[in-house]
Amino acid sequence: MDPDALPELDPVIHAQARLRVVAALSAVREGDQITFPSLQHVLRMTAGNLSVHLRKLEDAGYVRISKTHRGRTPATYVALTRRGRVAFDDYTAAIRLLLDSAETTEEQR
């Protein structure tokens, strides 16, 4: 495969921590959301680290952050947006294409 034809990887998703966040959120049904502490637990990330990566994803339009209250307790919910799902699907397709092209190149040697 022509190296110039290889797909670009989305730099917002490509960072390891953000890839983990988007992958975890993609497992949440479309239209549903997860609490910040639950996502933090699943990813085993500190609150500060997770917040930094969520902000970058939110700025790109890939996640939606909702702040509300459960009774008197503040609650933060996170969801992957439609745009985020499409970006993740595109990213995984690009990775598959890169891997397939590597296999093809190896077979040609």
Query: Strand pairing partners for 34?
Result: 78
Burial class (CB in 10 A: 0-12, 13-18, 19+), 97: middle
pLDDT in tens, 51-86: 999 999 999 999 999 999 988 999 999 999 999 999
The pLDDT score that the predictor gives to residue 6 is 74
The CA distance from 75 to 6, in Å, is 42
Predicted TM-score of the model (pTM): 0.86
Contact call for residues 83 and 64 (beta carbons, < 8 A): no
The pLDDT score that the predictor gives to residue 56 is 98
Q: How many CB atoms lie within 10 A of CB 37?
A: 12
| Domains of the chain with bracketed CATH | 3-102 (1.10.10.10)
Look at residue 23 and tell me whether its pLDDT is greater than 80: yes
Q: 108: which 2 tokens? A: 């040609």
